[in-house]
Amino acid sequence: MGPGSHADLLVTAEIELPWASDVVYLRLTLEALSPLSGVWAARSFDPDPDALWGLYASDNQILDELVVGGGVSEAKAMALTAAGGVGGGCSGLGDLDADDGEALSTPEPWSDPAVPPSGAGEPGVRSLPFGVVAGGPRYVVVDQPTVPDGRALGASGPVSWIAALDDVDDAVAGLEAADHAAIMDALREHLHHDPYLVYDPSDAASSDDEGSYITWDWISVDLGDWLDRNDGVGLSCHSLACVYSSLGNHLGLPTEYVTLGTGFTTNLARAAGTDTWARYGFSSQGIVTVDGGETVWDAAVDRDGDADPASQPVSEVSPMGWSLDDYLDALTPDLIGVVNGGRCYVY
């Protein structure tokens, strides 16, 4: 983390992450740029962005010579500790002189959150060390999250939800980060074969958009509907494609939702959560890409892969990593194409 400054104060936050233990060391350093008096520093303990959607809870207490904080995010627990009250939730720092303040301790090196730090500081500087002890698994992802920033729309910010990473962890475990196609295949199978999912073309309740249904200006999806699916969830192709692409975004993939259309009759298809092969009249279809549309994936339906996909018998195939042209040929005998696309906001 980097510094932030005001006319009279420079604040720098640093994080040390020792991979050998479930501890995160954080140091907040305040440096006076001009003489200050009666300086106090206050901090809250809320490290998990899932708090915004009710999946996380924390509790902070300031006691005599001690500050404690605890939290839980589903099955994972976190706690904050500050040895001897140093760097507690609310600390009186006294006066900070920009020129000749007293020498103050800095946490160097950080080795044990239970042992107060030692060492010489710089004049006019206060360093406030504390540790966050976290229990539970770590999630290894492909890259920085690519979730679009939807805060201006009341949706999620550009962060990965812990619950979303936990949802797909078993599906993508052991896959190479560079093999985007294999990860997309695993996510597709995770979605399509989920026992609680039924693909329902008429149920668009889990997604929302600005503009018309197909030529929207932006689209969003209630990811919580998917994460809380234990009572069953029915998703339209648009909602399901948004869930699919968003899970890829949470892992750091450049996945995008693609809308195909408009107005066509499908070849034989079997919808997720059903056993029936049938032809459907669709206004549009939602699919997913990870490479700008060169190859595509569809979690909503399986296709008939034989030479006559409009008639029985069926040779079942799953549309994973197909070229767009091959997918369109399997989808419908009608002439359609890409009419919209982008990343889905989540809330």
pLDDT in tens, 323-336: 999 999 999 999 99
In terms of pLDDT, which residue wins out, 133 or 79?
Answer: 79
User: For the ranges 46-50, 85-89, 281-285, which has the lowest average pLDDT?
Assistant: 85-89
Over residues 187-232, the pLDDT tens digits come to: 999 999 999 999 876 554 445 555 567 888 888 888 988 988 888 8
The 3-state DSSP class for residue 254 equals: coil
Distance between CA atoms of residues 95 and 88, nearest Å: 18
- pLDDT score of 60: 56
Flag whether the pTM goes above 0.85: no
Q: What is the pLDDT of residue 19?
A: 57
- The pLDDT value given to residue 344: 95
Secondary structure of residue 32 in the 3-state scheme: strand
Confidence of residue 22 (pLDDT cuts 50, 70, 90): low
Give the β-pairing of 76-81 and 197-199. Answer: unpaired
Is the per-residue pLDDT at 57 higher than 80?
A: no
Q: How would residue 24 be classed by pLDDT, with cut points 50, 70 and 90?
A: low
Answer yes or no: is pLDDT of 286 > 70.
Answer: yes
| 141 pLDDT tier (thresholds 50, 70, 90) | confident
**pLDDT attached to residue 288:** 98
CA angle, residues 166, 172, 177, in degrees to nearest 5: 115
| pLDDT beyond 50 at 18 | yes
Do the beta carbons of residue 290 and residue 318 sit within 8 Å?
A: no
Q: Which residue did the predictor score with more confidence, 343 or 106?
A: 343
The pLDDT assigned to 86 comes to 39
Yes or no: say if 43 and 89 are a contact pair by the CB < 8 Å rule. yes
Instruction: Specify the pLDDT at position 236.
Output: 86
Distance between CA atoms of 242 and 155, rounded to whole angstroms? 14
Least trusted range by pLDDT, from 30-44, 100-114, 205-219, 223-237: 100-114
Angle of helix 237-250 relative to helix 180-192, nearest 10 degrees, comes to 140
Nearest residue to 57 via CA among 76, 38, 40, 41:
76
Please give the C-alpha separations between residue 265 and each of 176, 238, 314, 334, in angstroms, as whole numbers. 38, 17, 17, 7
Per-residue pLDDT, averaged over 240-262, amounts to 95
Q: What is the mean pLDDT of the chain?
A: 75
Instruction: Indicate whether 117 pLDDT > 70.
Output: no
| β-strands 9-16, 90-96 pairing | unpaired
